[in-house]
A and B are shown apart, each in its own frame.
Chain A
Amino acid sequence: MMAHAADTRGRVEFRAVEIAFDGRRGPTPAVTRTTLTLEPGTFTAIIGPSGCGKSTLLNAAAGFIAPAHGEILVDGAPVRGPDPEIGVIFQQYALFPWLTALGNVDFALRRFGFSRAERRQKAMAALAEVGLRGQEKKFPGQLSGGMKQRVAIARTFAGRPKALLMDEPFGALDAQTRGSMHDLLSGVWRAHLATVLFITHDVDEALVLADRIHVMSSGPGRIVESFELSAARPRSAARFDAAQLAMRARILDLLRPAAEPAA
C-alpha cells in the first residue's frame, strides 16, 4: 500500500540543538550543537556509549526538556512540550498499572472523540495487531516484559503519531524476545508509516531495524559518524550482507572506549 500522505508528514529536524543541565559549576552541556533531519517515514537509530546524551536528545524531541540553544521542528512546527503527534516508547514501558491492556490503549484513543464502542473496537484491533488477542483484560502486572512492550507499542500507535521516539525499548528483554519484537516493530512501523527515532546500545539491533544509523560520542555528546543502510527488508541479524558487516565493524570500532578521544 502506497500512502502519499505519509511522504509529507513526520519530518523531524534538529537545528543546532544544544542541551545543558545545571551542574555544580553552572550549566554543563550534555549534547552539543547537533543538526539532524529525520525524513518522513524513515527509521533512524542512534547508538553510543552510556551517558553520551542519547536519552537527552530524545527527551528534547519529545518535549520533556527544552534545548538551551537551537530548536527541534516537527513538520516545521517547533516542539514546545509533549505532543500526541510525537509518540514515545520508554524502556520501562510506562504502562499505567491500574489500567488493563485494553484500558491503556483506550487512554491513547481518547483524544479523537470516538464513541465508546469505536474506541473499544479500535483498542481491540490495536492489541490484536501486536499479537495480544485474548490478553486485553490483563493488567500490566500480569504480563511479561515483552508483552508489556507490545501493549506500549499498540498504545503509542493507537494515538496516530507522526513521529515515534523509542529509548532503548527492548533493552530489558532477552535476545529471543528482542528478535520477535524487531519483527513486530518493523511490521507495525511499515503499516503506520511514522518517522522513527530509535535509541539503542545494540549494534545488531540498529543494523536490523534502521535506514540510517548515527553514532554518538560523549564528552560532550555529539554525533561522530553516520551510516546509510539499503539492505532489503525483512532483515535478520543472522544474515547480514557485506555492507552491513562492514558497518558493524566500523561502528564497533567507534564504540570501543580506546577509539574515543580522551574526554
Chain B
Amino acid sequence: MTASAPRRPPLRPALGRSLSGPLRPVVSLGFVLAIWSAVSLAGLVNEALFPAPWTVVSAFIEMARQGVLWEDLRVSLGRAAIGFFIGAGLGVAAGLATGRTQLFRMLLGPFLSLMRPIPAIALVPVAIVWFGIGEESKYFVIAYTVFLTVWFNTHHGMEYVPEIYIRASRSLGASRLREFLVVVIPAAAPHIAAGIRLGVALALLSLVAAELTGASSGIGYRLQEARQYVRTDRMFALLIVLGAAGALVDQAVHRICRRLVHWEQA
C-alpha cells in the first residue's frame, strides 16, 4: 500500500464511464424529468392524478410564496434533528455498553433485537397515548427509529473490534479505560459512523410517520392537507422538497463522517 502512488479511477460499467462526478446527478435528474415531461405532453396520464412537471413547479412557487413551505421544512427538519440527536445519543451509549460488556449484552441484547423489526409507524398509537399530540410524540417516534439502528451498528462495531488491536494495546501496557477510549471506540468508529448515517436517513424517513401523530405544521402535515384537497401537484412538490432535503443532509453527514474516520479509505 503506497500512499503516493496515483490512484486509478475506479472501473465503471461502459455506459456510465464518460459521466464524471458532479455531473451525474444532473444527468440522472434530467433524464427522469425528460421522460416525465414527455409522458405529460403526450397526455398518457390523467393530469389530476399525475401532474406535469410545470404544474408541480407552479404549486411549489405558490407554496413558497405563501411562506408555508419554508416554515414546514424548518419545523420538520427541526423535529427530525431533535429526534435524531436523542435517538443517536442513546443508541451510541447503548451500543458501547452492549458491545463490550457481557452483562449488558445479556440483559439488553435479545430485548433490543426483538424491538428492531417494529416499524416507526406502528409506534404512532403508543406515542399519542404516552405523549399526546404535542412535539414530544414526534421526537419519540423519530428517536425510537434512529436509536435502534444506531445501537445495532454501534453494537456490531464494538463486538468485532479486531483482536490484534486489543492484543497490541494490552502488550503496550494500556489501561482498560485507555484501551476503550483510544483503541476500541476508534476501531468501531467506521461502524458507528455508518449507523449514524443510516440514522439520519431514518430520521427523515420516519418524519412523515411521526407527523401522523396529529401535527398542524410540517411537511408530513402539509401532505395530509394536500390529500384532503386532492392537490397532487402540491403533494409532488412536497415529496420532491423532502427528497432533496434528505439527499442534501445525507451528503453533508456522509462528508462529515468521512473526515472523522479518514483512515478507513486507506
Kindly list chain B residues whose C-beta atoms are within 8 Å of the C-beta of A155.
172
In chain A, positions 86-121 with a C-beta closer than 8 Å to chain B are: 86-88, 90, 92, 94-99, 107-108, 110-111
Would you call B111 an interface residue if the criterion is a C-beta within 8 Å of the partner chain's C-beta atoms? no
Contact of A94 (CB < 8 Å), options: B164, B173, B265, B266: B164
Q: Are the CB atoms of A84 and B1 closer together than 8 Å?
A: no
Kindly list chain B residues whose C-beta atoms are within 8 Å of the C-beta of A138.
3
Kindly list chain B residues whose C-beta atoms are within 8 Å of the C-beta of A139.
262-263, 266
> Which one of A27-35, A44-52, A67-75, A141-149 contacts B?
A141-149
A144 to B266, CA, bound (A): 12
Would you call A82 an interface residue if the criterion is a C-beta within 8 Å of the partner chain's C-beta atoms? yes
Would you call A83 an interface residue if the criterion is a C-beta within 8 Å of the partner chain's C-beta atoms? yes
> Total interface residues on A, using CB and 8 Å?
33
Contact of A110 (CB < 8 Å), options: B168, B171, B178: B178
Classify chain B's interface size. Answer: 20 to 34
**A260 to chain B: closest CB distance in Å?**
30
A108 to B189, CA, bound (A): 22
Would you call A197 an interface residue if the criterion is a C-beta within 8 Å of the partner chain's C-beta atoms? no
Q: Given contacts A97-B263, A107-B174, A155-B172, is CB(A82)–CB(B3) below 8 Å?
A: no
Kindly list chain B residues whose C-beta atoms are within 8 Å of the C-beta of A107.
169, 172, 174, 182
Which residue of B is nearest A97, CB measured? B263
Q: Given contacts A92-B164, A97-B263, A139-B266, is CB(A86)–CB(B171) below 8 Å?
A: yes
Q: Are the CB atoms of A90 and B263 closer together than 8 Å?
A: no
Would you call B186 an interface residue if the criterion is a C-beta within 8 Å of the partner chain's C-beta atoms? yes
Contact of A108 (CB < 8 Å), options: B1, B173, B183: B173
Q: Are the CB atoms of A88 and B3 closer together than 8 Å?
A: no
Contact of A62 (CB < 8 Å), options: B1, B167, B182: B167
**B55 to chain A: closest CB distance in Å?**
52
Q: Are the CB atoms of A108 and B263 closer together than 8 Å?
A: no
Would you call A64 an interface residue if the criterion is a C-beta within 8 Å of the partner chain's C-beta atoms? yes
Q: Are the CB atoms of A90 and B3 closer together than 8 Å?
A: no
Which residue of B is nearest A145, CB measured? B1
Q: Are the CB atoms of A94 and B1 closer together than 8 Å?
A: no
Kindly list chain A residues whose C-beta atoms are within 8 Å of the C-beta of B178.
110
Would you call B165 an interface residue if the criterion is a C-beta within 8 Å of the partner chain's C-beta atoms? yes
Contact of B266 (CB < 8 Å), options: A83, A97, A159: A97
Q: Are the CB atoms of B171 and A83 closer together than 8 Å?
A: yes
Would you call A81 an interface residue if the criterion is a C-beta within 8 Å of the partner chain's C-beta atoms? yes
Kindly list chain B residues whose C-beta atoms are within 8 Å of the C-beta of A99.
182
Kindly list chain A residues whose C-beta atoms are within 8 Å of the C-beta of B174.
107, 110-111
**B193 to chain A: closest CB distance in Å?**
12
In chain B, positions 4-55 with a C-beta closer than 8 Å to chain A are: none
Residue of B169, B171, B266 ringed by the most chain A CB atoms within 10 A: B171
Residue of A81, A97, A138 ringed by the most chain B CB atoms within 10 A: A97
Known: A96-B186, A107-B172; 7 extra A-B contacts, CB below 8 A, are: A63-B171, A82-B170, A96-B165, A98-B189, A98-B261, A138-B3, A159-B173
Query: A residues touching B (Cβ–Cβ < 8 Å)?
Result: 62-64, 81-84, 86-88, 90, 92, 94-99, 107-108, 110-111, 138-145, 155-156, 159
Query: B residues touching A (Cβ–Cβ < 8 Å)?
Result: 1-3, 164-165, 167-174, 178, 182-183, 186-187, 189, 261-263, 265-266
* A–B complex contacts, Cβ < 8 Å, 13 sampled: A82-B170, A84-B171, A88-B171, A94-B167, A98-B261, A98-B263, A110-B178, A111-B172, A138-B3, A139-B262, A139-B266, A141-B3, A144-B2
